[in-house]
Structure 1
Amino acid sequence: MAATSPTPTAGIPAWLPNSLTILRLILVPVFVVVLFVAPTSLPWRLAASATFLVAILTDLFDGRLARKYNLVSDFGKIWDPIADKALTGAAFIGLSVLGELPWWITILILAREWGITWMRVRMLKYEVMAAAPGGKLKTVLQSIALVMFLAYPIQLTQQPAPWWFWPAWVVMAAAFVMTLVTGVQYVVDAWRLRAKALAATGDDSQS
């Protein structure tokens, strides 16, 4: 009896990557509650930072599992970035509400994030736009900066800033720039994709 070759999904449930995406969505309200229970308490802020970190790490694992075991799905392509933006958006808004991050940074970042998400949904009539490598780097930079900001209530106490606070601003600045740059890249890619789809439709109508 000949041995059968292993399937791409051998050893892992096919539903696991999408389940991690759903878990990340569920953790968003949990994170918000933990953040605002006692925003000036260091233990609660560390708990909020840890909750955010656990949630954002699910993005790392669901993406790797999906690619490694050939489990990439349209559900994941759409809902994975939405889950990311819901989580990071909650963190940006929370920090701005607490007065620890300027609102103009939060507003510009969220305008880009949700604007690109809306655009990607609109582009579904042409093709599903997968997250670009630059978009992933942007998410990593945002995540690192947010974890560092969330870990200590610097604007709400009279204590000296911890050593990681000023490097956190450097990472936040890099994340802000990367957010805007990748936003422009997505718009350019969408324009090219739309032009290609319309050209193909025009060719088909002439044949």
Structure 2
Amino acid sequence: MVDADRTDPRPRVSIYNIANALTVLRIALVPVFVFALLQDDGAATSWRWIAAGVFALAIATDKLDGDLARKHGLVTDFGKIADPIADKALIGSALVGLSVVHLLPWWVTLVIMTRELGITLLRFLVIRHGVIPASRGGKAKTFVQSLAIWLYIMPVGGAVGTVRWWLMGAAIALTVVTGLDYVARAARLARGASAARADAAPNG
């Protein structure tokens, strides 16, 4: 009997790698960020700047861990699960925190979080049929969303206040449009898988 492990040319990737370490760091930064943002109900300028810095650092790890994992072959099952959890935890805590301190309307937080959680659930439901890759619209959504949130965290007004308002509007629009696109692609994937099974079934 042939040992499958010996015939598999792919090397085993340890979960103890730099990409996963950055993902874990991003998760660990979430409570630090929330603590800084909520100080004095969001009115403490120095703490808001600290929160903005922590958020920026966490967002930077999001891009870096993905780049490192793909470039150096460090993709692991742990990373596939932990990375989206870290993303949702960071963005979700930022949106909720901003709404709690009355810097962002609650309806904005509800719209974005409903989309994010809904798509996450849908991804698990259709994963047996295949993986739907991130679209350009999805990547644009993430970038605009993160930038808008970061500007809302910073204790500044004037022109920046106007820019962040428009950016958040664009983020909401992209959130809804890309969410609908993902639902449509998931439906096509499920239909294609059902058709393939029907074709493969023996004729009675």
TM range (shorter): 0.7 to 0.9
Q: Is 1:80 aligned to residue 83 of structure 2? A: yes
What letter corresponds to residue 131 of structure 1 in structure 2? A
Runs of at least 5 residues in structure 2 that lack an aligned partner in the other structure: 1-10
Separation of aligned partners in 2, 1:176 and 1:87: 17
Query: For residue 70 of structure 1, what is the amino acid of its counterpart?
Result: G
Match of 1:25 in 2: 27
Q: Name the residue aligned to 2:150.
A: 147
Could you list the runs of 5+ residues in structure 1 that have no partner in the other structure?
A: 1-8, 155-160
Q: Distance in 2 between matches of 1:78 and 1:116?
A: 15
Instruction: Measure the CA separation in 1 of the matches of 2:130 and 2:78.
Output: 13
Matched residue, 2:111: 108
CA distance in structure 2 between the aligned counterparts of 1:79 and 1:203, rounded to whole angstroms: 36
The two structures have a TM-score, normalised by structure 1, of 0.83
The match for 1:62 among 59, 65, 69 is 65
Cα distance in 1 for residues equivalent to 2:95 and 2:39: 17
Query: Bigger CA drift: 19-28 or 36-45?
Result: 19-28
Structure-to-structure mapping, 1:189-200, within 5 angstroms:
189-200=185-196
| Whole-Å separation in 1 of the counterparts to 2:115 and 2:138 | 12
Checking the alignment, whether the CA contact within 8 Å between 1:77 and 1:129 is kept in structure 2 is no
Shift of residue 137, structure 1, vs aligned partner: 1.4
Give, in whole Å, the separation in 2 of the partners of 1:15 and 1:205: 43
Distance of aligned partners of 1:60 and 1:94 in 2 relative to their CA distance in 1, 3 Å threshold: same
1:171 aligns with 2:167: yes
State the TM-score, normalized to the length of structure 2.
Answer: 0.84
Matched residue, 2:94: 91
Write the distance in 2 (CA, Å) between the matches of 1:122 and 1:29. 30
Give the residue type in structure 2 aligned to 1:67. R
What is the distance in 2 between the residues matched to 1:192 and 1:18? 32
Q: In the alignment, what sits opposite 1:4?
A: none
Tell me how far apart the structure 1 counterparts of residues 160 and 182 of structure 2 sit (CA, whole Å).
32
Q: CA RMSD in A?
A: 2.2
Contact 1:96 1:102 in 2 (8 A): yes
Q: How high is the sequence identity, in percent, across the aligned residues?
A: 46
Does 2:129 align with 1:126? yes
Give 1:202's aligned residue: 198
The Cα shift of 1:81 comes to 2.5
Letter of the 2:30 partner, please give it.
V
CA distance in 1, matches of 2:120, 2:100: 24
The answer (yes or no) to whether the contact 1:74–1:128 under 8 Å persists in 2 is no
